[in-house]
Amino acid sequence: MRSEGRLNWGRALIGWTVALGMFFPVFWMFLTSFKTEITAVATPPAVFFHPTLRNYSAVLERADYLAFAKNSIAVSVGSTLLALALAIPAAYSMAFYPTRRTRDILLWMLSTKMLPAVGVLVPIYLLWRDLGLLDTVFGLILIDGISVLPIVIWMLFSYFREVPAVILEASRLDGARQAEELFHVLLPLCTPGIASTALLSIILCWNESFWSLNLTTVKAATLTAFTASFSSPEGLFWAKLSAASTLSIAPILIFGWISQRQMVRGLSFGAVK
């Protein structure tokens, strides 16, 4: 019993160390956002200081935060809905009507995530330009939706695979057509899985910066572009950059905090059944 207790203590210690290590930069950024530019770069770093909200007012004065936030919400939710709309039928057919090639297709889709996005920047940029999608929310939804699609399909595929095919067969004998089978049986059964997939997709799209920096300028720019605009070549303003970053991540952090129960439930969906 005693050795087991010690083991638990050891695990807790490692867990907390990792968690604090991951949390510390965010915490430091949060602190820095309340410092003056001078205390922000002071060596040794100042832990105790007079907090100020000047950075926030400066940042909000310079840029229309709400417009960026609105774009971020539109893009992350829009991309997620697009990805789900494409992934649900794809994962359904792969989970319940697998062929010899299903595994290969899944791996191929995942392999696209290994390709650096910059590798297709030029063709995508030219395509988007010719289609008039540059600096549009729709254009960004399209590219972000496609980017998260492989992950969304993979996650849904593994959730759908947990559903015994016989339940869908039973619904077919009850007179359900394919769409009814999907909407009345499969999707309600996989709600926790779909919810956590959607949450993860929203977070990934919210944090996506590459396409938002390269395909938008003003109208469709998201909070990642907003943050980036505070790192200027003339010199870094750490305190202001920290304030901008804090403003950018705050909504998704709160969102993640609220939905963490749902996330964990969905991610361990198969394990607990």
Contact 131, 143 (CB under 8 A): no
174 binds another protein (CB under 8 A): yes
Cα torsion at 52, 55, 58, 64 (round to 10°)? -120
183 binds another protein (CB under 8 A): no
In the DSSP assignment, the letter for residue 222 is -
Residue 176 or 236 with smaller CB distance to another protein: 176
Which positions ≥6 away from 245 have C-beta within 8 Å? 29, 33, 227
101 binds another protein (CB under 8 A): no
**Total chain residues near another protein (CB under 8 A):** 17
171 binds another protein (CB under 8 A): yes
Contact 241, 148 (CB under 8 A): no
Question: Hey, what amino acid is at 152?
Answer: V
Rounded distance between C-alpha atoms, residue 219 and residue 21, angstroms: 37
Residue 159 or 237 with smaller CB distance to another protein: 159
- Stretch 192-221 residues interacting with another protein (CB under 8 A): none
Query: Min. distance of Cβ 172 from another protein in angstroms?
Result: 4
Q: Using CB under 8 A, which of 143, 151, 185, 220 touches another protein?
A: 185
Cα torsion at 154, 158, 163, 165 (round to 10°)? 70
Q: Are strands 231-232 and 235-236 parallel, antiparallel or unpaired?
A: antiparallel
* x/- letters, 45..84, toward another protein (CB under 8 A): ----------------------------------------
Rounded distance between C-alpha atoms, residue 22 and residue 78, angstroms: 29
Applying CB under 8 A, which part among 42-50, 64-72, 148-156, 184-192 lies near another protein?
A: 184-192
**Size of the chain, expressed as the number of residues it contains:** 273
Query: Min. distance of Cβ 174 from another protein in angstroms?
Result: 4
11 binds another protein (CB under 8 A): no
Residue 112 or 191 with smaller CB distance to another protein: 191
Which residues would be at the binding site for another protein (CB under 8 A)?
164, 166-167, 169-177, 180, 184-185, 188-189
